[in-house]
Chains A and B, each alone.
Chain A
């Protein structure tokens, strides 16, 4: 620190390729490939285009929410109300459909309701400064509660026939519309998080919100936008799911919030904020989808599958740490 000669600073210590080689995503990709191979060996039905296409429905909707949730968690917040937003969005669309709304209007209503729910969460968190985990535990009951109030023990099922496209349509051959949408969202969120100023500020906020604010980032505004995005993606997922089910009941998508969070964490996003990547979440979505589908083909009951997911969630973090501890 004491001599005064100026020095040349290299840009990078390691080449980007070297970094990639040590990355979490690569590890996860290896896991995904291993599961894929294991599945192909374990079940004769696995390697079949239609079956694989069907399998994507196990994760596409959850993954779409997971992208937005990943950004939110990277920024140090969380939204546990996403599944409840799906219920409310679906109810709103059902009510509109019952009143005779056409498909375009339904989509607008769905996205609008999602945005409104996101805005409500965002306002409570950024304006009133409440912890997001508590706020969204509350809105989780509130949103679904409202849809119970509206629907009671009834169901909406009068969706226009074209509406079925979002959840049941195919773009070409076995490629479902949902899968294409999933791919587009993945790309969009990749660019948003890793290639834009907005994404950079998300990382900065998650690392140290105070320092980010002191660097001139509008922390409240960014967080609010993230809640909006999460609401929006819940709306998108709600459209797909409602279309796939062809009907709405208030209990729709219950328990999804924890599955979405699991997907995000499995994708290597730090639950404490500040780090993570969209490719990681994409691979995690495939991993979860492949595991549930593969075990499903072996007729393993769902509850036993969830043990696998739980073990995976803990071991993806635990095993590298144990390995490091064991080596020294």
Chain B
């Protein structure tokens, strides 16, 4: 048997009849109307880009058309026939498959099983046919050029390989509609190129593709059509050929957004942080750099280069095996985040949901969590002071919420990020580390984050910004460290700071392999 991916031919359908059409879809969550009568059409052999700000409802519609959510109202038609999906399996049976924004994989299962769970090939008595499953897994992996053994337990794989498994999983269904929800967010340069090739191939096989991304360059590169959502409503669709970037942005945010990075007067003060010879047995080695007041230090690298690990070591999460940290010239030992905070180093993590805000606690309690010693009296809480402190910083960040005692879990992702930043500013730190501060943030909010970073630096805070986006790194940083495979590959400044040098050092091009 051929790998399922090529076993059906959808080409005969005419390109202007939608293979999948959603209309009038409404979906509410407690307190939020995530989708309000939206429509979406996908055509065979074409890539439709779905764009919108954070929280516009993109992932929600993906979950609706893959059977994970059931819409409150509206209609889904597959090839003209109305359908209802009670579960993800129903949608898969109708030929709809998705690479979701969240990883939907299982660490304890093997690669082959991760690809096939939910629709494993069955043998006698309805038992799973392991041999067949492995064989098919191997075929699919070969198709996407992933050199993975189907029997490896997933927990042994790196993040990029896991992503390949997620892609393989989407392809294991003989799908006429393939949905990709921000598929390139975790991939490196090379893997992104490969993904584009895959998209082209799927297109040529006559499949309809829904592609969600915040990156305009890639949308313009691969999409044929677009659909824009704003605040859960449909604001426009059409052919990519008819629009330019500014049009799309206007539709997305309802106004013009200049994408120019804030102008900054670069006047670094004295040195606040110096890292010497930081090393860890498996994660990084020989890390050294310094940082001055009012400076923004960019840290660039491909995903998996170990940037977060270094920053988390500075913050006391991972314990380095060697090396020293000097703060204001004095050597400090940092064994825990509590030590780091006490020494004026704070960290805004990449993984907001898990490491950032304490979901389920009110906003003000989140904000005061690291500075309780300020607002309390001999270890006893003083609510009035807590509210005052929380108000001061949340209002400064223009937090959008109903009240300070609202649960953080009810806020949108961007506002959760603001709570985390407010929490740290309240401790009046010397050094703030922002790990991918604009990852998955829409372009409207992005500009706000950039402006804010510039403001902090202007107030004399030292900022470290870990980022994988070259424009952001170039636009914001005074100086950039490039990391590769746990080592510092280069430190760039001034004229040496160009997209080419960044990519070259990050990927190790033109260097002898050690």
A and B touch in the complex (CB under 8 A): yes
State in angstroms the CA–CA spacing of A214 and B349 once bound together: 8
Chain B hits for A12, CB < 8 A? 403-405
Q: Are B347 and A214 in contact (CB under 8 A)?
A: yes
| Residue of A11, A201, A211, A275 with most partner-chain B CB within 10 A | A211
Which residue of B342, B355, B379, B427 contacts A197 across the interface (Cβ within 8 Å)? B379
Which residue of B255, B337, B399, B405 contacts A214 across the interface (Cβ within 8 Å)? B337
Chain A, residues 1-19, CB within 8 Å of chain B (1/0): the string is 1101011111111000000
Chain B hits for A146, CB < 8 A? none
Does B317 sit at the interface, judged by CB under 8 A? yes
Of B33-41, B106-114, B208-216, B356-364, the stretch lying at the interface with chain A is B356-364
Query: Among residues 50 to 101 in chain A, which have CB atoms less than 8 Å away from a CB atom of chain B?
Result: none
Chain A, residues 191-214, CB within 8 Å of chain B (1/0): the string is 100011111110110011011111
Which residue of A1, A207, A208, A216 contacts B444 across the interface (Cβ within 8 Å)? A1
Q: Are B253 and A2 in contact (CB under 8 A)?
A: yes
Query: Among residues 319 to 361 in chain B, which have CB atoms less than 8 Å away from a CB atom of chain A?
Result: 336-338, 340-342, 347, 349, 354-361
Chain A hits for B448, CB < 8 A? 4
Contact-size category for B? 35 or more
Chain A hits for B359, CB < 8 A? 207-208, 211
Chain A hits for B391, CB < 8 A? 9, 11
Chain A hits for B254, CB < 8 A? 2
Closest partner residue, chain B, to A214 (CB atom)? B355
Contact-size category for A? 20 to 34
Chain A, residues 256-276, CB within 8 Å of chain B (1/0): the string is 000000000000000000110
Q: A204-B358, A207-B360 are in contact. Are A212 and B369 (CB under 8 A)?
A: yes
Chain B hits for A218, CB < 8 A? 336, 338
Does B376 sit at the interface, judged by CB under 8 A? yes
Does A254 sit at the interface, judged by CB under 8 A? no
State in angstroms the CA–CA spacing of A200 and B448 once bound together: 32
Does A215 sit at the interface, judged by CB under 8 A? yes
State in angstroms the CA–CA spacing of A215 and B355 once bound together: 9
Q: Are B399 and A9 in contact (CB under 8 A)?
A: yes
Q: Are B400 and A1 in contact (CB under 8 A)?
A: yes
Which residue of B54, B361, B376 contacts A203 across the interface (Cβ within 8 Å)? B361
Does A217 sit at the interface, judged by CB under 8 A? yes
Q: Are A204 and B369 in contact (CB under 8 A)?
A: yes
A-contacting residues of B (Cβ < 8 Å)?
53-55, 253-255, 315, 317, 336-338, 340-342, 347, 349, 354-361, 364-366, 369-370, 372-373, 376, 379-381, 387, 391, 394-395, 398-406, 412, 414-415, 423, 427, 444-445, 448
- Counting from the closest, the 5 A-B pairs by CB-CB distance are A216-B341, A13-B403, A216-B370, A197-B372, A207-B360
Between A and B, 8 residue pairs with Cβ closer than 8 Å are A6-B395, A12-B405, A197-B376, A198-B379, A200-B365, A204-B358, A214-B347, A216-B427
